[in-house]
Structure 1
């Protein structure tokens, strides 16, 4: 059996006000072509189809066009809701999407079997996908109620709750079938983009242990972390990463999809297939003294740029952004090095077109440094709760 694993489309994404929809459309078209040339029996999409819970028409158009193209090829797909998606919105479309071969898993059910999807391959083999959509701690408490568990214990240990769910779903694996687990979550040891030598804190209450995968799991198709990687000693858990370089923290990463070749009862063979779509994001660090010379030399650089300028404390830099943009029109952001300038001279980057999350990240970065993943998740959950009307703004 041959399965393509992808995740984290983030359709509707704007990078510093620059619309990435055309690039994402190209990447999705490229994956459809790979599904055809690699003779895929199924495509797995491990969450974050969209960048926001209320995506625009263009974002919805490229995602649903992707599924229609797969339908035309006769290739079914299994899809999860991620933390950026509206689970209720995707769930309401699940019946309609089913007509084009999309098996959507957006929300939990009290019946674990409703989270398990099966796909029949052309060679007669059966693929079983045990799928867990993104679960925040808030949704985990709802899951505890659904499964008749003690809520207090699950509140204290997020990973215990996830382990229980994974075990319940693993009971629906089938002998003689290919058995996979699909999740939108952070696994212990995962490396975020932009921090190649630093792994996520294993004590983070929002992480899951690779030891919790049920016996018989031949491949774990993960989404949520944008850097492609294999996680855990068992080597069965894979993040394919995002489709394109979505922000400057992902600059330099080769994006990919995973081709998983596997047969019942045997270890999976995984091949990373590089993606050619998407513009390269680069960060150009210069000093005020060599600014003009460095910008002149950078005119030959393709892709999208962020320019970080350092200068001695107390240096006035009027018109800096305009100067940079005149020389390099492909610059999306101009920032001053906060370490080189006093706080009073370190203005916020332009807020125009920034999302609430981007504004919060900018605010946090200028005061404390890199925004922790757990705090980013909490912010998104609070925002989604407000948008869904669960709490007042």
Structure 2
């Protein structure tokens, strides 16, 4: 049996005002072509189909076109919701996607058997997948209540609660089938790319899973959530395929891939990385102020997307810097001063003591540039109303 494992499409991704959806659509078309050329019997999508809970029409078109391409090739699949997806939204189209051969598990059900899906393949083999969509601590407690768990105890430790689900899913494995687990979660020891939202929190607190918690009956664990391709467990074999394009400058230089898993019932799985060529290269150029023109001139043939970080003495202001850069590098999406070192050098640039509105303005500047006045006013108004409600 040959199973193609992918994850983290993030359709609808917007990078510094630049829509990455056309590149993601191209990558999904490439993956569908690989599924055909590599004779995949099934496709697993381990969450984060979309970048936001309310994706654009173009983002939905890219993902649904991918599933239609799999349907045209006669390749069934199973997809789960990630932390960026709206579980309710995916649930609402689960019936329609089922008509094209894609089973969707968007959120836990009161009957755990509903999270274990079996595909009957053309060659007569069976693929059983315990499908665990992303569960925040809040959602985990709610799901525990539905399934009769001890909710009070589960509030103590996320890991224990996730272990309960993993055990129940493992109970659904079958002796006459290839058995896999699919989850959107963070494993101990996983190495982030630097672009995953909230990943710094996942990797430093208790919201991670141990390889020891994975069901021993799983021949392969198809993971999503971490954007850097990697293997995180040997027994059972557990892998992240990573995101399908370089989504943020933190992923610059990474080679993207999908995983092709070869496996038979009762036998160890073998994983082959299939490289992806789609998506524009992201690159960060760090340059001294007096070398901006010469360094950008050397990158004249670069067709990817560029982030330029200009190193300058503390307190320097560089009027017209962005215009200078864009004249030489039209694909530059970001032009920043060396904020990391200046943040250490200048007390006034430290984040401690800043109001929420000031933090929001700093965040917006780092991501997109100058914060529009109307957004600043709206955020400040919302912040003040929230404080009044808390005080009341």
TM-score interval, smaller chain: 0.7 to 0.9
With over 3 angstroms needed to count, the CA separation of the structure-2 counterparts of 1:162 and 1:345, relative to structure 1, is closer
Superposition pairs of residues 109-128 of structure 1, within 5 angstroms? 109-128=109-128
d(CA) in 2 for partners of 1:324, 1:340: 21
Where does structure 1 lack aligned partners over 5 or more consecutive residues? 349-358, 367-393
For 1:92-111, what aligned pairs fall within 5 Å after superposition? 92-111=92-111
Please name the residue that 1:319 is paired with.
320
Matched residue, 2:302 = 301
Mapped to 2, the partners of 1:362 and 1:260 lie a distance apart of 44
Q: Secondary structure at the match of 1:103?
A: strand
CA contact (8 A) 2:186 2:203 kept: no
Deviation for aligned residue 1:63: 0.6
- Equivalent residues, number: 354
SS at match of 1:270: strand
Contact 1:189 1:199 in 2 (8 A): no
| 1:211-222 equivalent positions in 2, closer than 5 A | 211-222=212-223
Look up the SS of the partner of 1:130 in the other structure.
strand
TM-superposition CA deviations, 1:149-200 (whole Å, max 9, x none): 12121111101000110000110100021000000000111000049xx998
Shift of 1:36: 0.5
| 1:264 match: secondary structure | coil
1:174 paired to 2:174: yes
1:333 aligns with: 334
Please report how far the alpha carbon of residue 300 of structure 1 lies from its aligned counterpart in structure 2 after TM superposition: 2.1
After superposition, the C-alpha distances for 1:22-72 in whole angstroms (9 at most, x for unaligned) are 111110100110111111110000001100000010000111111111111
Any conservation in 2 of the 1:188–1:200 contact (CA below 8 Å)?
no
- Contact 2:216/2:236 (8 A) holds in 1: no
Q: Distance in 2 between matches of 1:300 and 1:161?
A: 52
Counterpart position of 1:192: 192
- Within 5 Å, give how 1:9-20 maps onto structure 2: 9-20=9-20
Q: Which residue of 2 aligns with 1:158?
A: 158
| Contact 2:3–2:42 under 8 Å retained in 1 | yes
TM-score for the superposition, normalised by structure 1: 0.86
Map 1:176-325 → 2, pairs under 5 A: 176-194=176-194, 204-234=205-235, 236-325=237-326
RMSD of aligned C-alpha atoms? 2.3
In 2: Cα distance, 1:72 partner to 1:251 partner? 34
Task: Note closer, same or farther for the CA distance 1:85–1:339 as it changes in structure 2 (3 Å cut).
Answer: closer
Q: 1:15 to 1:166 in 2, by over 3 A?
A: same
Paired residues of 1:230 and 1:238 also in contact (CA < 8 A): yes
Contact 1:311 1:340 in 2 (8 A): no
Q: Distance in 2 between matches of 1:17 and 1:27?
A: 20
Q: Counterparts of 1:133-144 in structure 2 under 5 Å?
A: 133-144=133-144
* 1:289 CA drift (Å): 1.7
Change (3 A) 1:89 1:361: farther
Q: Which residue of 1 aligns with 2:131?
A: 131
Structure with higher Rg: it is: 2
1:309–1:335 CA contact under 8 A, matched in 2: yes
Taking structure 2 as the reference length, what is the TM-score of the superposition? 0.86
Q: Which moved more, 1:114-123 or 1:78-87?
A: 114-123
Query: 1:234 & 1:176 partners in 2: Cα distance?
Result: 20
Structure-1 residue corresponding to 2:7: 7
Maintained 8 Å contact 2:214/2:236:
no
SS at match of 1:84: coil
Structure 1 pair 339–144 and aligned structure 2 pair: CA distance change class (3 A)? closer
- 1:191–1:199 Cα contact (<8 Å) kept: no
Asked if the contact 1:157/1:205 (under 8 Å) is kept, the reply is yes
CA contact (8 A) 1:260 1:268 kept: yes
The 1-side partners of 2:134 and 2:361 are apart by 21
Aligned equivalents of 2:255 and 2:215: distance in 1? 31
Change (3 A) 1:130 1:365: farther
